[in-house]
Amino acid sequence: MKKIAVFTSGGDSPGMNACVRAVVRTAIFKGLEVYGVFRGYEGMIEGDIKRMHSYSVSNIVQRGGTILKSARSKEFRTPEGRKKAYDNLMKHGIEGIVAIGGDGTFTGAKIFFEEFGIPTIGCPGTIDNDLYGTDYTIGFDTAVNTALEAIDKIRDTAAAHDRIFFIEVMGRDAGFIAVESGIGGGAEFVMVPETATDIEGVVKSLKNLRKTKSSSIIVVAEGDDAGNAEEVMQKVKSKIKDTSKEFKVTTLGHIQRGGNPTARDRVLASRCGMAAVEGLLKGEVNCMAGVMNQQVVYTPFGDCIGKTKPLIEDHLKLIEILSI
Ligand code: F6P
């Protein structure tokens, strides 16, 4: 293998740049030519592919976002789109690709590999942490810390006014951000898509809590089965007769996707990027390079996207016990 390409795709996550840097520099270190594909699969279809050098990735290890840009491509879902993408890679003589992204990115990469056989490897880039085959995904730690900083600030004002705050964090299908920011932020409740939300139970506990606490923090993952934070708040509020308590909703939104990556995310990104290039050279294909129990592991794309990564049970217990 002499030439490889790297791209970022789907929702961006802090640390993607550190990962791109690791891929580019490891490839050059190993004597490979490396190309950057801009705007993910969309740019692959349009032929937006440029040679990368060591200096192309200077001064990016600390930056959020992705210098390669990111996109979600409808055309890549069609056989015609994928054929165009393949032809563009062939024009540059590219023999292997590194895809940095989440489950959507790997779903595309798996199909692409099965259709054209081009050696493909992934790095877990998503704030959601919802990929099987790695303990953490690149960007998760930063997103949790961003959410936590916001929760701390909201807690100050919640306490000052004796209010009940519903804080919505990202996580369309997974509650990892909600759980970790909830534990760190001392939330009274955390609502996640993985477990059924018991509104009656929350109302009951809130009534009890009010004997000892004047304010409460409830963290809601955007994909919770009971609805988003506004909907959950309305459901809870409608069951509480005492109108003296004020209920407020704050949606943290895309601030969770940006910002300088934490040290943990930079290290994880660098490890995964290097492991991806080394994996490609060793014949590890159609799989993701992740880190589990401190060790680099290669997990087939099929498992990464097909198996569910469960929440850590102790975490849910912690929230229940520590919120009394
Ligand atoms: O996949 C990561 C994620 O942050 C989800 O939690 C969220 O629902 C989604 O991206 C939103 O992404 P976008 O606004 O880019 O469509």
Q: Give the predicted TM-score (pTM) of the model.
A: 0.97
Instruction: State whether the beta carbon of 253 lies less than 6 angstroms from ligand 1.
Output: no
ipTM over cut 0.85:
yes
Neighbours of 79 (CB within 10 A): 9
pLDDT at 205: 87
Q: What is the pLDDT of residue 214?
A: 86
The CATH architecture to which 143-258 belongs is 3-Layer(aba) Sandwich (3.40)
Contacts of 106 (CB under 8 A, 6+ apart): 99, 122, 131, 288, 301, 304, 305
Nearest-angstrom CA–CA distance, 311 and 103: 17
CA distances from 135 to 61, 104, 234, 291, 312 (A): 21, 19, 35, 6, 11
- Asked if 92 and 37 touch (Cβ cutoff 8 Å), the reply is no
Q: Is the CB of 108 under 6 A from ligand 1?
A: no
Same fold yes or no, 3-139+261-306 and 143-258: yes
* Residue 303 is among the residues annotated as catalytic for this protein: no
Please give the distance, rounded to the nearest whole angstrom, from the Cα atom of residue 9 to the centre of ligand 1.
12
With a 6 Å cutoff on the Cβ, whether 104 touches ligand 1 is no
Q: Domain boundaries in the chain?
A: 3-139+261-306, 143-258
> Closest Cα to atom 8, ligand 1: which residue?
172
**Separation of 181 CA from ligand 1 center, angstroms?**
17
**What pLDDT, on a 0 to 100 scale, did the predictor assign at position 243?**
79
Return the pLDDT at 244: 80
Q: What is the pLDDT of residue 208?
A: 80
pLDDT by residue (tens digit) across 55-109?
999 999 999 999 999 999 999 999 999 999 999 999 999 999 999 999 999 999 9
Contact 280, 194 (CB under 8 A): no
- Contact at 8 Å (CB) between 9 and 40? yes
Give the whole-angstrom CA distance, residue 179 versus residue 44.
Answer: 36
Q: Count Cα atoms within 13 angstroms, Cβ side, for 158.
A: 25
**Which parts of the chain register pLDDT below 70?**
none
Q: Whose CA is nearest to atom 10 of ligand 1?
A: 11
**Of 12, 48, 87, 128, catalytic:** 128
Q: Per-residue pLDDT tens for 152-177? A: 999 999 999 999 999 999 999 999 99
Question: Considering only CA atoms, which of 42, 46, 101, 123 is closest in space to residue 77?
Answer: 42
126 lines ligand 1 (CB under 6 A): yes
Sheet with 287-292, strands from edge to edge, namely 49-52, 33-37, 3-8, 96-101, 120-124, 287-292, 295-300
Of 71, 89, 60, 125, which Cα lies nearest the Cα of 271?
125
Sheet holding 189-191, edge to edge: 189-191, 216-221, 164-169, 247-251
pLDDT at 25: 98
- Å from CA of 11 to ligand 1 middle: 6
pLDDT (0 to 100) of residue 241? 82
Q: Is 139 in the pocket of ligand 1 (CB under 6 A)?
A: no
Going by CATH, does the domain composed of 3-139+261-306 fall within 3.20.20.140? no
Beta bridge partners, 218, equal 166, 189
Measure 204 CA to ligand 1 centroid, in angstroms: 32
Q: Which two tokens stand for residue 4?
A: 């490889």
